[in-house]
Structure 1
Amino acid sequence: MAKRKTTTSPSTISPAETKQPEQPAPLPQNTNESVKSEIYSRFTDFDIYLFRAGKHQKLYDKFGSHVVEFNGVIGTYFAVWAPSARYVSVIGSFNGWDKASHPLKVRWDSSGIWEAFIPNTGRGESYKYFIVHEGGREIEKGDPYAHWWETPPKTASLVWDTYYEWQDQDWMANRKAKNALNAPFSVYEVHLSSWRRDPSDPKRELSYGEIANALVPYVQDMGFTHVEFMPVMQYPYEPSWGYQITGYYAPSSRFGTPQDFMHLIERLHQAGIGVLLDWVPSHFPGDAHGLYEFDGSHLYEHPDPRKGYHPDWKSYIFNYSRPEVRSFLISNAIFWLDRCHADGLRVDAVASMLYLDYSRNAGEWEPNMFGGRENLEAISLFKEINEAIYLSFPDVQTVAEESTAFPGVSRPVYTGGLGFGMKWMMGWMNDTLRYFQRDPAFRKFHQDNLTFSTVYAFTENFMLPLSHDEVVYGKKSLIGKMPGDEWQRFANLRLLFSYMFTHSGSKLMFMGCEFGQTSEWKFDNSLDWHLLEFAPHKGMATCVRALNKLYRNEPAMYERTYTADGFEWIDTSDRENSIITYIRKGNRPEDNLLVVLNMTPIPRSDYRIGVPTAGSYREIFNSDSTEFYGSGIGNTSPVQSEESSWHGRPQSIRLNVPPLGAIILKIG
């Protein structure tokens, strides 16, 4: 995750505002004797045990606000964890925000849970918790478990539910095959606020329903197998892009209700498209209505700033050693898979959680009990979360954004790994972009940038990411990074995408990259869809569509994508011409593909390469196709192999290799 220029909204509490008053303030008095909070609880003794042991996986069924019937009366049950409070009440639209009229009762079991049934309240009521810390400080907080919130800048929670009559049964019954590690996995990363806006009012964000109407057919047409939504959880401040969350159990109210969000996922599922959600267990903002100092104490964040404050994002780090916080996070991960039918979670900033010295200088961090820099509590939490997810949802995937060489990120817990299904291949991304930004005349000196990735490509289940982080903050758009004139820049980007799709690993592409968005991504503006009216951009989109189709239709592109037997180099030694060749292998030899990449703008005719077997090779993809805004150089007729040894192989073929082009051939 990139460093974001602003991380919290103007309502953030500063450390200076957290001082306790010298004398405890008197507790509010219930001035309305006719309004009583009756005894009701959703917690069993076993729930309390699991919560306090850090093992509860469905706290969203217990905490928060739930409309129920009690003693023949419809009302709302409220429950909140505030162990350092000496008084808690519910204030809201139903009681004129009266701090005294609806107090909660603390449980007898020292769990720190406050609860009550409040009659004649229900769906749609806005509310907060009024909390008096044991030292006397008064606080108003939103509900950490609320399913819906007021639209920012308003900050109250809303009584709501997650009831939805799902119509995606076919997808859910068969998604195991779609989400498997031996299936095509091509992800389109989307920021809901800026993917597309109202053409008649560019400042108006589309609703979940409007997004569904536009996004579903587009993703289906482009051929992506999955979408990944940047954080949709309730966040107060737009420039955080959603990565500073205050409502972990609620889809953003900017775009509609929780049910509207579920409808968006349902529509994608009905179209055969999987859904990954960005999930942020690494940090949260200090907004006054959020988790920070929730009951006046360091409840959710670690009290030691060396472990509880994030210097990069000026936000707060969960206390991974506190069992109740672990239950909160495990339950939250399960919630999005359970109630919202998500097909996986992409976990943000994993490296920042794994290391105690992340973004810290000497003396700013404390070693673990063994003297190392690993965060043992976070490591064990990842293992528990992944075990819980794959036990309950074996047909989903968790994906780690992890940028270090930490071992076994995407290996099972029982073998010593963290248990993720996939891991972002950040080294590949950095090397690839560095290489393609070079003038082609000098690429021959840096060919190792492209070949080095296969040295470690099979140590993890890697996803190749070209994400939002690469097209912001002066980094330029992808097309803006490419050297040369207009034709060369587009040819370079088509070549880069061809290399990406034929490289081992699953794929991720940020919105706009697929048609060559020229400007950097802006979180508060729509993508430049008008660019598709111009031939270079239309050709780029057509090329990506063709690559997705090829990826889905050719088993050699995905069947063995995480094992070394699915990839074989033919030649990496032709540095002078900057040409590399390799084979992608499927389960059957007849499915194997031959890939040739020319990294210079010079076409090569009669170029000989060794081939694995004798036969006739036909070109099934050419990034230089005129359909893609290319020059059209290629091999229109099948090429017959010859008994001429080349590249250490007894058979070879001679090809026309296009400039700044990729060609893919298949035998038969």
Structure 2
Amino acid sequence: MQQTLPDITKTGSLLTEYDVYLFRQGNHARLYERLGSHPAIADGIRGTYFAVWAPNAAEVSVVGDFNEWKAGNHPLSIRSDDSGIWEGFIPEIGHGTIYKYHIRSRYGDYRVEKGDPFAYTWEVPPKTASVVWDLSYAWRDRAWIRCREEANTPDAPISVYEVHAGSWRKVPAEENRSLNYRELAAELADYLIETGFTHVEFLPVMEHPFYASWGYQTLGYFAPTSRYGTPQDFMHLVERLHQRGIGVILDWVPSHFPSDGYGLSYFDGTYLYEHALPGRRYHPEWKSYVFNLGRNEVRSFLTSSAIFWLERYHADGLRVDAVSSMLYLDYARSAGEWTPNVHGGRENLEAVGFLRKVNETVHANYPDVLVIAEEATSWPGVTAPTATGGLGFDLKWNMGWMHDTLDYFVLDPVFRKYRPDFLTFSIWYAFSERYVLPLSHDEVVHEKGSLIGKMPGDDWRKRANLRLLYGYMFTHPGKKLLFMGGEFGQRSEWSHDAGLEWHLLRHPSHQGIFRWVADLNHLYRREPALHERDAEQEGFEWVDFSDVEKSIVSYLRRGRSADEVVLVACNCTPVPRYGYRVGVPFGGFWKEALNSDATEYGGSGVGNLGGVEAEQVPAHGRPWSLPLTLPPLGTVILLPEGA
């Protein structure tokens, strides 16, 4: 689809007075349509309109191959409305033009060439220039967009496969290169259908200078990284996933940005995007700059970035990185390294206001998308509506569940009876927010090892423990997230420079883990009791969590209909239990829907031969009970016949 170029003959600008007003008020949600580089027409001549915010510049000009990178040859003019925006039209250049802004500050002798904060694409790193680009694309995902609200509602099954695009699969025969966006589209969509995940979440695809940051040191807030192709190539990837019924969530980083000289830092010879206060400017943990969220123009920049990915790339959600670091003034800072807010507290009031505003703006424009917080503290109301004082997110990563669960499963089974709280405490707060249960990339990097590598025991027990962990995860209240490789038991710690260990799928034991995760996904999606009431107390009911000596827990998940019931029993020791009685709410035959110890999953085959007839023997306060066979280090999931 060819872009219809705007005609700026009369005004010489894409900006209206209202645009400037919204920008300065912090309320502009589509600045990417006004600032940056845009092919246009003036006086019948094709060219490109440029606009950049640099209020403390004395001179700004556009430099590039077209003028041999000579400053001053194509100067921009500052607007007379005190907006600090410089703009201008350069004839006879357009799509594909490589450029930067040459800025001379009004303070000192600061001169610098900066990339465009609003560039739609950049040169392939390590090159650093911006590129004029036409984002036209004939989207063919209308059917998905029309019905995606159903896939993103709080009672929908949401199972997320977390992916780093550059290392999901490599091409060894071609110097171990990454797949490009179009190759990824072809292979990833088929894989997700097979494994049963409902959504894919990409680690930040936004342009970033340092590959080893995995995208979390974002520099191009309006550009997918050119390492894997063009903007249209990335659109094709999103489109293909949508055509296969898979939602796309993008990691988004509004908390901090890298200090690379051609980026946002010290943009016009002043601290423009970052804080001017030394105690709030620099992030000590990530060695990066912190956005000044108290500055209205910065808020407009970031809000526009959020809307951009939903509007121009049809993303179905944003996972907001490092929300905890935004909420607290003393995050990663010692006493004396931070300044309290106006009330004397540690809360970052500017960030709270920004997060509420961006969530309100996103949901006003796109009520059918998800905004997910990576937030690791007990901040109240992260997923509560802003109207009631909440932050307005749709979901929050449950970091407490993740830490407790992994702390439990790394224990040798003989010691698990001493820490049953690691397994059961999460239910006390499971319904205080709308949660995602994350086993993310963060748990398999920085010498933490792989998930299967954390498990105790020999190879058989490691695999059994991993299957048990997944069985517990997929039946626990909350949406699901699993980082790539975990679904087949990757043995090595993840490395962004290496592809996943796909060769492991040639081994029946790892193929068994893969089949177990796929079957869990399909059961989770099929049974309303496993997802419909994730954030409701009534959706979960303990049968028994007191058998500490045997390290066995059993519980019911319930849907909204009385017959929507799932029974789960987890045996967290390698000792099989026969005739183990578990109370159930009614009689009849209970079929064994899944058993992690089944031979097709690499288990020993201990189980219930298809199911168990309930007996009118009271147990656990219920009139009926099942005499179950619980496999070693196993999860069994049973459904009443007819369900």
TM (norm. structure 1) is 0.94
Task: Write out aligned runs for 1:106-505 (5 A).
Answer: 106-135=78-107, 136-505=109-478
Deviation at 1:563, TM superposition (A): 0.7
The answer (yes or no) to whether the contact 1:38–1:118 under 8 Å persists in 2 is no
Deviation at 1:199, TM superposition (A): 2.9
The answer (yes or no) to whether the contact 2:515–2:601 under 8 Å persists in 1 is yes
Residue 3 of structure 1: aligned partner: none
Given candidates 67, 70, 86, the residue that maps to 2:58 is: 86
What is the SS of the residue equivalent to 2:58? Answer: strand
Give me the whole-angstrom Cα distance separating, in 2, the residues matched to 1:161 and 1:405.
Answer: 44
| Partner deviation per Cα, 1:106-132 (whole Å, 9 max, x = no partner) | 000010000001110100010000000
Residue 5 of structure 2: aligned partner: none
| Partner deviation per Cα, 1:419-461 (whole Å, 9 max, x = no partner) | 0000000000000000000000111111111110000000000
Residue 33 of structure 1: aligned partner: none
Residue 496 of structure 2: aligned partner: 523
Is structure 2 residue 103 aligned with structure 1 residue 100?
Answer: no
The residue type equivalent to 1:534 in the other structure is H
Give me the whole-angstrom Cα distance separating, in 1, the residues matched to 2:72 and 2:340.
Answer: 46
Task: Write out aligned runs for 1:529-544 (5 A).
Answer: 529-544=502-517
Deviation at 1:201, TM superposition (A): 2.5
| Partner deviation per Cα, 1:21-62 (whole Å, 9 max, x = no partner) | xxxxxxxxxxxxxxxx99711111110000000000000000
Where does the alignment leave 5 or more consecutive residues of structure 2 unmatched? Answer: 1-8
Give me the whole-angstrom Cα distance separating, in 2, the residues matched to 1:488 and 1:494.
Answer: 10
What is the SS of the residue equivalent to 1:664? Answer: strand
Give me the whole-angstrom Cα distance separating, in 2, the residues matched to 1:248 and 1:227.
Answer: 20
Deviation at 1:643, TM superposition (A): 1.7
Give me the whole-angstrom Cα distance separating, in 1, the residues matched to 2:74 and 2:221.
Answer: 25
| Partner deviation per Cα, 1:585-637 (whole Å, 9 max, x = no partner) | 00112120000000000100111111111221111010111000001111124
Is structure 2 residue 534 aligned with structure 1 residue 561?
Answer: yes
Deviation at 1:645, TM superposition (A): 1.3
Residue 610 of structure 1: aligned partner: 583
Given candidates 564, 568, 573, the residue that maps to 1:600 is: 573
Deviation at 1:202, TM superposition (A): 4.5
Give me the whole-angstrom Cα distance separating, in 1, the residues matched to 2:111 and 2:122.
Answer: 22
| Partner deviation per Cα, 1:148-171 (whole Å, 9 max, x = no partner) | 100011000000022111000000
Deviation at 1:267, TM superposition (A): 0.3
Give me the whole-angstrom Cα distance separating, in 2, the residues matched to 1:56 and 1:646.
Answer: 61
Deviation at 1:228, TM superposition (A): 0.2
Residue 45 of structure 1: aligned partner: 17
Residue 580 of structure 1: aligned partner: 553
Give me the whole-angstrom Cα distance separating, in 2, the residues matched to 1:487 and 1:198.
Answer: 31
Give me the whole-angstrom Cα distance separating, in 2, the residues matched to 1:199 and 1:550.
Answer: 35
Deviation at 1:307, TM superposition (A): 1.1
What is the SS of the residue equivalent to 1:97? Answer: coil
What is the SS of the residue equivalent to 1:91? Answer: strand
The answer (yes or no) to whether the contact 1:106–1:113 under 8 Å persists in 2 is yes
The residue type equivalent to 2:54 in the other structure is A
The answer (yes or no) to whether the contact 1:202–1:525 under 8 Å persists in 2 is no
Give me the whole-angstrom Cα distance separating, in 2, the residues matched to 1:271 and 1:560.
Answer: 26
Give me the whole-angstrom Cα distance separating, in 2, the residues matched to 1:639 and 1:202.
Answer: 55
The residue type equivalent to 1:218 in the other structure is Y
Is structure 2 residue 35 aligned with structure 1 residue 63?
Answer: yes
Residue 28 of structure 1: aligned partner: none
Deviation at 1:214, TM superposition (A): 1.1
Give me the whole-angstrom Cα distance separating, in 2, the residues matched to 1:230 and 1:265.
Answer: 14
Give me the whole-angstrom Cα distance separating, in 2, the residues matched to 1:609 and 1:453.
Answer: 22
Count residues with an aligned counterpart.
632
The residue type equivalent to 2:457 in the other structure is G
The answer (yes or no) to whether the contact 2:611–2:638 under 8 Å persists in 1 is no
TM (norm. structure 2) is 0.97
What is the SS of the residue equivalent to 2:546? Answer: coil
Give me the whole-angstrom Cα distance separating, in 2, the residues matched to 1:547 and 1:305.
Answer: 50
Give me the whole-angstrom Cα distance separating, in 1, the residues matched to 2:256 and 2:550.
Answer: 48
Give me the whole-angstrom Cα distance separating, in 1, the residues matched to 2:63 and 2:386.
Answer: 44
Where does the alignment leave 5 or more consecutive residues of structure 1 unmatched? Answer: 1-36
The answer (yes or no) to whether the contact 1:39–1:117 under 8 Å persists in 2 is no
Q: What CA RMSD, in Å, does the superposition of the two structures yield over aligned residues? A: 1.0
What is the SS of the residue equivalent to 1:254? Answer: helix
The answer (yes or no) to whether the contact 2:165–2:203 under 8 Å persists in 1 is yes
Give me the whole-angstrom Cα distance separating, in 2, the residues matched to 1:593 and 1:513.
Answer: 25
The answer (yes or no) to whether the contact 1:202–1:526 under 8 Å persists in 2 is no
The answer (yes or no) to whether the contact 1:83–1:111 under 8 Å persists in 2 is yes
The residue type equivalent to 1:70 in the other structure is A
Is structure 2 residue 624 aligned with structure 1 residue 651?
Answer: yes
Give me the whole-angstrom Cα distance separating, in 2, the residues matched to 1:563 and 1:305.
Answer: 44
| Partner deviation per Cα, 1:379-433 (whole Å, 9 max, x = no partner) | 0000000000011101000000000000000111011100000000000000000
Q: Percent identity?
A: 58
Deviation at 1:548, TM superposition (A): 0.4
What is the SS of the residue equivalent to 2:603? Answer: coil
What is the SS of the residue equivalent to 1:114? Answer: strand
| Partner deviation per Cα, 1:341-375 (whole Å, 9 max, x = no partner) | 00000000000000000000000000000000000
What is the SS of the residue equivalent to 1:539? Answer: helix
Deviation at 1:317, TM superposition (A): 0.3
| Partner deviation per Cα, 1:64-114 (whole Å, 9 max, x = no partner) | 000011111100000000000000000011111111210000000010000
Residue 32 of structure 1: aligned partner: none
The residue type equivalent to 2:242 in the other structure is H
The answer (yes or no) to whether the contact 1:39–1:116 under 8 Å persists in 2 is no
Q: Which runs of 4+ in 1 moved over 6 A?
A: none
Further displaced range: 197-206 or 327-336: 197-206
What is the SS of the residue equivalent to 2:325? Answer: helix
Give me the whole-angstrom Cα distance separating, in 2, the residues matched to 1:503 and 1:205.
Answer: 35
The answer (yes or no) to whether the contact 1:38–1:117 under 8 Å persists in 2 is no
Is structure 2 residue 46 aligned with structure 1 residue 74?
Answer: yes
Deviation at 1:205, TM superposition (A): 1.5
| Partner deviation per Cα, 1:264-301 (whole Å, 9 max, x = no partner) | 00000000000000000010000011000011110000
